[in-house]
Chain A
Amino acid sequence: MSQTFIQEPLDKAAPHVVPAQAVTLNVNGEDHTIQIAPWTSLLDALREYLNLTGTKKGCDHGQCGACTVLVDGKRINSCLALATVYQGKKIQTIEGLGAEDNLSPLQQAFVDHDAFQCGYCTPGQICSAQGLINEGRCKTEDEVREHMSGNLCRCGAYTNILSAVMEVLHDGNVVVDNGVLITIPVAPTKASSAE
C-alpha cells in the first residue's frame, strides 16, 4: 500500500531565471541604482541591496505590516511591491523619518510611551502612523485603533502605540483613556519602618 508523493512546482513549466537589471530607486531623498532580478520585492531591495534594514520582514505576504514604508507620503506594504515598479517615486523608510540621535516627534513619542517591546514591528508601526497622520482622516481613539490595525504587534504594545500616535496627532493636547499604572508600595515591615 505504499504511496509516493512528488514535491514539485505547481506549474510544471516554471518560469526561467530572468537576468538582473538596473533599477533606480529614490529612497529618503537619494537615488540608488542597483542590479536586481525583476521579481525582487521593494522590501528585499531595501534590506538586502541598499542595506536599509530598518524596514522589517515579518511575513513577506502582506499580512503583518512590519514592512510598511511611505511612497509619495502614502503607506504601503513593501513586501507586496515589486521594486522595479517604484522607480521615479519618493520612497521614505524609517531611516528617513529620523535618526537615533535626532528622532522625529513620532519616534520620540514611541520611546516616551514605551510603545514597543522587541521593536521588530516598530518601524512599520511608525511609518504606518506617519501615513495615518498624512491621510488626515483619523482623529478619535477608535479611528486610530482601526486604522492602525494593519500592523500586528506580537508583543502586544497596542495601548501604548495608541497613546503615542494620539499624542502626535493632537500635538500633545489629548488624554487617552486606555488604562493606567498604579503601584501599591511595599507594606511597611518591622525592618523597613525602623529605618
Chain B
Amino acid sequence: MSQTIATPPTVRLDSDVLGKPISRTDGPAKVSGAAKYAAEFGVTGPLWYGYIVSSPIAKGKITKIHADEVLAIPGVQHIFSHENVPSLAWFDRNYKDDVAPGGSPFRPLHEPEILFSLQPVALVVADTFELARYAASVLRIEYDVEKHNTDLEASIGEAYDAPRGKTGFMPPPKPKGDMDKAYQEAPHKIAGEYIHRAQHQNPMEMFATTVDWLGDGKKMKIYDKTQGAPNVQQYLMKIFSLSTDEARVISKFTGGGFGSGLRPQYQVFLAVMAALELKHSIRVVMTRTQMFSFGHRPHTLQKLRLATDDLGQIQALEHKALHETSQFENYTETIVNWAGVLYPSPNTNFDYQLAKLDVYSPLDMRAPGAATGSFALESAIDEMAYAANVDPLDFRLRNYSYEDPIENKPFTSKRLDDCLHEGAARFGWDQRNPEPRSMRDGNQLVGWGVAAGCWDASMQKAAAKAVLSADGHLTVSSATNDQGAGTYVIMTQMAAQTLGLPMKQVTFNLGDTNMPAAPVQGGSWTANSVGAAVKDACQGIGKKLLKLAQKMDNSPLAGVDFEDAQFVDGYIRANEDITRSVAIADILAASGEEKIEADGKAGPNPINMLKYSMHSHNAVFVEVKVDEDLGTIHVTRVVNAVAAGRIMNPKTARSQVLGGTVWGLSMALMEETYLNNELGRFMNHNYAEYHIPVNADIHKIDVIFVEEQDDIASPIGVKGVGEIGMLGVAAAIANAVYHATGKRVRELPLTSDKLL
C-alpha cells in the first residue's frame, strides 16, 4: 500500500491542468492514421498470415481433417489443428488469466471435441492473407454431430446457485425480514419478469495479433489487441513456458474492447503457437463473424417483486436473476446486488443462478451485471411508483439510501440526490404530466422517463515509472491500456500537475509489458488506480528534486519539507513564502544528473474497504417519441447526470458518458444476438444484422457532472466513468415508452413489434 501525501495547495497557472477539458494527446495520431493497432505493426523479415477455421456445429467431435489437399497448394505453409498441436502446459491453472471465471478455461485446438459453435478448429498459415483465406475456405473437415442444448428457457430446471470463483464476484446479499409476508400484506405491489438475450461487445477493431519473430531464441514482440498487455503476457508465459523477455506483449492502441479484451482471446494463443512452431513472424486476425465466438453478455431472465406502504415507502424488495454459462466455466456477474444498495427495504430476498449450455462462456460487457440488473430494477421502480401513485422522481428520493443498506456502511460519498435534482431541472421534469399517453407531438406520442444507476468505485494494484531527463522532459510509463477511455491524456495531466510542468513537457507511454505492471482496463478502475500510481511516481521525482535543490549553494528551499513545498509552473516553491523558489531546470543543471527516476505504486486500501461502501451514481432523464401507428421509437433528448468523484478531464469523461448513453440506447432499442437453438448458433453474426445505433439514431445528449470530494474511495478522489454512464439509460427509455404509450415492455430490445 502506498503512502499518499496531501497535494500542496497550488496557484492556478499554466501547469494547473488536472480537471481541465484538454484534448487527447493521442488525438493527432488517431485522426491522421498514424496510430498503430495490433494488426498494423511491421515485422523483421517476411510475414505469414494465419486464418482461423471455425466449427459449424455446436457439439460433437472432429473425425477427419483433410489437410493434405490444402497443404499441396503452393504458398500454404502449415495447418494447425488438434492433430498436430504441440504438447503444452497441462494444468488448468496455466490457462487461467487474471479475470478468468471459475472452471476449466477453453484450450484452443486442444482436442477433437467441439464445445460450442464457431469454436476454432484449425489455423491455416500461408504466405499472404488472400491465400490463407482461400486455403481455409477449401479445407474439408468431418464431424460427428452430437445433440446440443443452447436453450436457456428450457434449462431453468437445471439451474444452480452461482458459485464463487471469479475475482470480484459478489454473491447475492442475505435476505432480510420476511419477504413473502411483507409482500402479501402491503397495500401497493408489483411483480414482473424481464428478459434480454445475448449481446456481443463488438468493438470496431477485430481481434488481431501480429507476432514479430526476432530470430533470437524464442524472443518475440507480440502486438495484441487486448485491454491489458500484462494479463496476456502472464497467460502466454504459463502456457508456452516463456520468460518475460521472450513474451513481450505490446498494445499501444486498442480499437475498443468494452470487456471483450479483458481475457486473452484465442487468436493470440494461435499466433504465438504458430510463431514458436514455425519460428516465423505471423499475423492472425479474426473475422467479424468470429467476433461472436468468444463471449457475450449472457441471455438473462430476471424476476422482481416490490411492495410499498401507503406513503410509497418500499417494504418488500425481491430480485432474482438467471443466465447461462458454458459447460466448462462458471461465468458470474453482479446483477441483483445493486437493488439492495440503491433502495432500503426492511424485507428483501435475492437470488442468482446459472445454467450450463453448449455455448462459450459469457464475458464481461460494459457495466457487466449492473446494466442487466439496472434495466429490470429501474423499470420495476417506475412501475412501483405508478402503483403507489407517487411521481417516479419523487419515489426515488423518498426511498433514498443514505448508507449502504446491504452492509450497513456509510458511503464514502453519494450525490445521487443532486444528480436527480440537477438532471430534473435541466430536463424540465416539472413540466411532465404523469398520465401515460397524455403528451403528444403531432401523431407522435411523447414520453418522459427517469432512472438511476450505480457502479462500484474500486481500485486495483497498479505501478508506474517516471523519468525526468536533463532537458526537463518528463516521461511516465505504465503497462496500462487506452481502449478509448482517454488514459493517455489524463495520465499526462496527472504527471504534469504533480510536478508543475506544462503538458508539452510530459509524455505518457502505455501498453508494453516492459513497463511497470497495471491491471486490465475494465471496471472503471484505470483512472483511479493508474492515476494514483502516476502521482506517486511523480511525487518520488519531486522529493528527489527537492533534495537536490537543497544541496545547491544558499538554497532558498533549505529546511523546507516536501509537504510544505509546491510544484508550479516549472518551479519548486515554499508554501509559506512563494518567493523562496528554484526553477526545476536550474536544479537539473546544478545537479549534473543525466536523469532522475522514480517508481510509483497504488492499490486498494483494505481498511477503508471494510469501513465504507464506495460507488458512483447517475440519474438519467429521457424523452422518446413513439409513432402511434408504426410503433417506431426515437430517443430525442437525454440528460445524463453523473456523480463519480473528481473528473480528471471533463472533455474525455463527457465522451465516456456520451458513449455509455449510446450503449444504453443500443441495449434498450437494438442489440440482440439471436441464438438459433436448432443449430446452436448465433445467427446474426455481422454488423448488418447485429444492430447498433448509427449517427441518425443519436440526438441531443446533455451530460452533467456532479463532482464529489472523496479522498477515501481513492487517494486522488477519482471514481471512474467507464461504466456509470450506461446505467439507467435502458430503463429510462423503457419508462419513457410506458409514459408515451401506456405499455410496459419488459423484454429487450424494445422493438416496434413489442408495442403493436
Contacts and interface: CB of A to CB of B under 8 A. Distances in A.
A14 B144 contact: no
A55 B33 CA distance: 7
Q: Nearest 7 CB-CB pairs, A to B?
A: A54-B33, A156-B662, A120-B255, A117-B484, A119-B30, A118-B484, A53-B40
A180 interface: yes
Interface string B287-309: 11000000000000000000000
B628 interface: no
B32 A100 contact: yes
Interface in A122-173: 122-123, 126, 142, 144-146, 148-162
Interface in A4-45: 4-9, 14, 17, 36-37, 39-40, 44
Interface residues of B, number: 101
Contact of B484 (A93, A99, A119, A182): A119
Contact of B692 (A51, A114, A154): A154
Given A156-B698, A182-B705, A54 B130 contact: no
A159 B26 CA distance: 20
B187 interface: no
A39 B662 CA distance: 37
Interface string A46-80: 01100111111111110110100000000000000
Contacts of B400: none
Contact of B130 (A40, A47, A180): A40
20 contacts: A4-B63, A5-B57, A14-B138, A17-B75, A37-B130, A48-B128, A99-B32, A100-B32, A111-B28, A117-B486, A117-B659, A118-B255, A119-B29, A120-B204, A149-B695, A159-B701, A160-B655, A183-B647, A183-B704, A186-B707
A154 B31 contact: no
B46 interface: no
A154 to B, nearest CB: 5
Given A58-B206, A64-B687, A195-B9, A180 B702 contact: yes
B166 interface: no
A95 to B, nearest CB: 5
Given A48-B128, A117-B656, 13 more contacts: A4-B142, A8-B141, A14-B137, A64-B687, A114-B651, A142-B696, A154-B204, A156-B663, A158-B658, A158-B697, A162-B695, A181-B704, A187-B415
Given A54-B33, A182-B705, A61 B484 contact: no
Contacts of B656: 117
Nearest to A182: B704
Main secondary structure of the interface of A (DSSP, over half): loop
Contacts of B399: none
Contacts of B256: 117-118, 120, 154-155
B4 interface: no
Nearest to A112: B23
B56 A184 contact: no
A179 B662 CA distance: 13
B144 A3 contact: yes
B705 A58 contact: no
Greatest chain B CB density within 10 A among A60, A114, A121 is at A114
A63 B688 contact: yes
B488 to A, nearest CB: 11
A56 B204 contact: yes
Taking residues whose C-beta sits less than 8 angstroms from the other chain, chain A's interface range is 35 or more
B402 to A, nearest CB: 15
B23 A111 contact: yes
A178 B484 contact: no
A59 B203 CA distance: 11
Interface of B: 9, 21, 23-24, 26-37, 39-40, 42, 53, 55-57, 60, 63, 73-75, 128-131, 134, 137-145, 202-206, 253-258, 285, 287-288, 415, 418, 422, 426, 483-486, 638, 646-647, 650-652, 654-656, 658-663, 666, 686-688, 692-709
A162 B706 CA distance: 26
A184 B707 contact: yes
Given A117-B659, A149-B695, A186-B707, A44 B130 contact: yes
Nearest to A165: B695
A44 B141 contact: no
Contacts, number: 279
A64 B204 contact: yes
Contacts of A161: 695
A9 B138 contact: yes
Contacts of A58: 204-206, 288, 687
Contacts of B666: 156
Contacts of A9: 137-138
A118 B483 contact: yes
A91 interface: no
Contact of A111 (B31, B145, B253, B698): B31
A108 to B, nearest CB: 8
B634 to A, nearest CB: 12
B145 to A, nearest CB: 4
Given A14-B138, A101-B28, A114 B654 contact: yes
Nearest to B138: A14
A189 B205 CA distance: 45
B204 A53 contact: no
A60 B426 contact: no
Greatest chain B CB density within 10 A among A3, A101, A177, A182 is at A182
A93 B31 CA distance: 12
Contact of A184 (B26, B37, B137, B422): B422
A147 B141 CA distance: 44
A124 B498 CA distance: 37
B658 A159 contact: yes
Contact of B142 (A5, A56, A112, A178): A5
Contact of B36 (A4, A53, A55, A95): A53
B144 A154 contact: no
Nearest to A1: B147
Contacts of B688: 61, 63
Contacts of A2: 144-145
Contact of A4 (B73, B143, B206, B698): B143
Contacts of B699: 178
A51 to B, nearest CB: 7
Contacts of A187: 415, 418, 709
B84 to A, nearest CB: 18
Contacts of B288: 58-61, 63
A88 interface: no
Given A48-B129, A56-B255, A101-B28, A95 B33 contact: yes
Contacts of B695: 144-146, 148-149, 151, 153, 158, 161-162
A7 B650 contact: no
A4 B485 CA distance: 47
A110 to B, nearest CB: 5
A85 interface: no
A5 B61 CA distance: 10
Contacts of B9: 195
A78 B571 CA distance: 52
B743 to A, nearest CB: 27
Contacts of A153: 204, 695
Contact of A54 (B34, B73, B485, B486): B34
A111 B21 CA distance: 12
B17 to A, nearest CB: 16
A59 B292 CA distance: 12
